[in-house]
Amino acid sequence: MTAEDTTAREPDQAPLTGWGTFAAKGLGTLWLAWSEAGLQRLSFQRLQSVEAEETLVPAVYAEALTRYFDGEAEDFADVPINLRGTDFQLRVWNALREIPWGEVRTYGGVAQAIRSPRAMRAVGQANHVNPVPIIVPCHRVVEAGHHLGGYGGGLERKQLLLEVEGVRFHEGVVQPGQMELF
């Protein structure tokens, strides 16, 4: 199954059917919200105005996140997601799902991958509004100089997520061997 197969393209998201919290090892509490179609939100902060019942996080999400935070190479390919965004955002998010565990790409590299080579800043904006970080691994995108760049969840979280995947840093710069040129 490809990332393209799991990304909903309907104009309206399915109504939320539940929400819950997940204790992420080393990171703290994550808030998740889902519909019958898949995960719609993953947040580092409490979700506001969620019109659904709080319940246990379904195993399909909790087990994949547990494997990830235990340091297993989890690609989340079997995690159903139900995203809503512009065509451009969906292209970016699908490209992010193709970045392998423990590797990083530059914003320019992602722009190249989606055949919009001059859209580096737009790629950054799409990353910033990614509704399901970690599952759609926007943390794997860094600046051209191999510095961390920005992250909606904060740079400390971005570095921690990359370190979970075995990415090494020296003074905030990704070390060689973990970068693809594009």
Residue tagged active-site, from 134, 138, 161, 174:
138
Q: Are residues 64 and 93 in the same domain?
A: no
- Please report the pLDDT score of residue 178 as a whole number: 56
Domain of residue 29, CATH code: 3.30.160
138 catalytic per annotation: yes
- Please report the pLDDT score of residue 34 as a whole number: 96
DSSP codes, 75-108: --TTS-B-----HHHHHHHHHHTTSPTT-BEEHH
Q: Are residues 140 and 91 in the same domain?
A: yes
Tell me which residue of 140, 166, 159, 157 sits closest to 71, measured CA to CA. Answer: 166
Residue showing tokens 């970068």 = 179
In this structure, is the dihedral angle defined by the CA atoms of residues 1, 20, 37 and 114, taken in order, positive or negative? Answer: negative
- Please report the pLDDT score of residue 13 as a whole number: 73
Spatial CB neighbours of 108, under 8 Å, sequence gap ≥ 6: 117, 120, 144, 182
Q: Are residues 96 and 169 in the same domain?
A: yes
Q: Are residues 150 and 101 in the same domain?
A: yes
Residue at 169 is within a domain? yes
Q: What is the pLDDT of residues 101-149, one digit of tens each?
A: 999 999 999 999 999 999 999 999 999 999 999 999 999 999 998 899 8
- Please report the pLDDT score of residue 10 as a whole number: 45
- Please report the pLDDT score of residue 2 as a whole number: 42
Q: Are residues 45 and 124 in the same domain?
A: no
Name the residue range of residue 58's domain: 3-69
- Please report the pLDDT score of residue 179 as a whole number: 56
Tell me which residue of 101, 102, 182, 103 sits closest to 144, measured CA to CA. Answer: 182
Q: Are residues 65 and 91 in the same domain?
A: no
Q: Are residues 98 and 166 in the same domain?
A: yes
Residue at 136 is within a domain? yes
- Please report the pLDDT score of residue 52 as a whole number: 87
Q: Are residues 43 and 113 in the same domain?
A: no
Report how many domains make up the chain: 2
Q: Are residues 92 and 55 in the same domain?
A: no
Q: Are residues 41 and 104 in the same domain?
A: no
Low-confidence stretches of the chain (pLDDT beneath 50): 1-11, 181-182
- Please report the pLDDT score of residue 180 as a whole number: 55
Q: Are residues 52 and 125 in the same domain?
A: no
Q: Are residues 64 and 140 in the same domain?
A: no
